[in-house]
Amino acid sequence: MASALRDFMVRTSTALLLGAIMLVALSLGGVWALAVVTAAIAALATTEFYALVRRERRLPSELVGLTAVVAMPFAAAAYGAIGLTATVGILVISAFFWHVMIRQVRLTETGVTLFGAVYVGFTLAHLVLIREYDNGVWYAFVMLLSVWVNDSFAYIAGSWLGKHKMAPRISPKKSWEGFVAGSAGTVAVWVTAGRLPGVDVSAGWLAAIGIAASVAAVIGDLSESRIKREVGVKDSGTLLPGHGGYLDRFDSLIMVAIVTHYMLFAAGVR
């Protein structure tokens, strides 16, 4: 119990620091400051992803992949979804140009180059697109808060009450009790957000967004755990106390950002 509480405090301290940086960029710096922070996080997380696949003797082009990852949030800030889509198109062309010009490069290298950039950079850039909605500051804030609540509630419930394992071969510590607690917290955050100024979405849609975000969070977490298990490592990196690496910390947000964006769009937010 004491060890779980200590680990939780370390995780929480790290999460609060990162959250504070993102919230300052979100609220005070505008869309371009958020693009800078998002690009930095995405670049660090993608670097960790490429380090993981190199353990499988794959040689991704980090120059191609990381250039695209850094460009994506800025393209989203400047030109919206069209700019983000165009950047992905340029990424594909650049990756295959690299593939054609260097004979030693195999299709698997080109594949992991493209996948890493899309998996991290493209998905996280949707945070910038959410910020550009009308009253997007509130929607982005609620999304970030919901991810933090989901992670915290799931960790506490899983550590103290978790008995039924969700995916023991992939993530032994993840439990159904933690998933239920995290989902309940996420839905509560989104439904409560209906009281914020400018959040003009029905309670039903807000609850649906919370459920979708909860599912996306666990998919993001389990996906990254599966990747780490395949290459035989515990953490994607060592830079963040209590979390491991940036990919460990933002694996849920990676999926939640893109899912939340399209759920808001379906709910009529523009």
Contact assessment for residue 61 and residue 135, using Cβ atoms and an 8 Å cutoff: no
Q: How many domains does the chain have?
A: 1
Q: C-alpha 143: how far from its chain's center?
A: 11
Query: What percent of the chain shows pLDDT beyond 70?
Result: 95
Residues 6+ apart with CB under 8 A from 85: none
In this model, does residue 27 exceed pLDDT 90? no
pLDDT digits (tens, 9 = 90+) for 191-230: 999 999 889 999 999 999 999 999 999 999 999 999 999 9
* Other CB atoms within 10 Å distance of the CB of residue 127: 29
Phi, psi of 75 (to 5 degrees): -65, -40
Residues 6+ apart with CB under 8 A from 218: 166, 174, 179, 182, 252
Residues 6+ apart with CB under 8 A from 72: 39, 42, 84, 87, 88, 117, 121, 122, 124, 125
Give the lowest-confidence range in 26-35, 176-185, 245-254.
26-35
In this model, does residue 149 exceed pLDDT 80? yes
Side-chain half-sphere CA neighbours of 47 within 13 A: 13
Q: Which residues lie across from 240 on neighbouring strands?
A: 244
Residues 6+ apart with CB under 8 A from 73: 34, 35, 36, 38, 39, 42, 121, 124, 125, 127, 128
Helix or strand run (H / E) with residue 173:
strand 171-175
* Other CB atoms within 10 Å distance of the CB of residue 63: 11
Q: Are strands 165-167 and 171-175 parallel, antiparallel or unpaired?
A: antiparallel
Question: How much is the pTM?
Answer: 0.92
pLDDT digits (tens, 9 = 90+) for 73-128: 999 999 999 999 999 999 999 999 999 998 888 999 999 999 999 999 999 999 99
Residues 6+ apart with CB under 8 A from 157: 175, 177, 178, 180, 181, 182
pLDDT digits (tens, 9 = 90+) for 166-188: 998 898 888 999 999 999 999 99
Domain, as residue range, for 8: 2-266
Would you call 160 exposed, middle or buried from its count of C-beta atoms within 10 A (0-12, 13-18, 19+)? Answer: middle
- Give Cα separations from 233 to 61, 117, 252 (angstroms): 22, 21, 19
**pLDDT score, position 104:** 87
**Amino acid identity of 96?**
F
- Give Cα separations from 73 to 37, 67, 77, 116 (angstroms): 9, 11, 6, 15
**pLDDT score, position 107:** 94
Mean pLDDT of 237-244: 72
- Give Cα separations from 9 to 2, 38, 236 (angstroms): 11, 25, 21
pLDDT-derived band at 239 (thresholds 50, 70, 90) equals confident
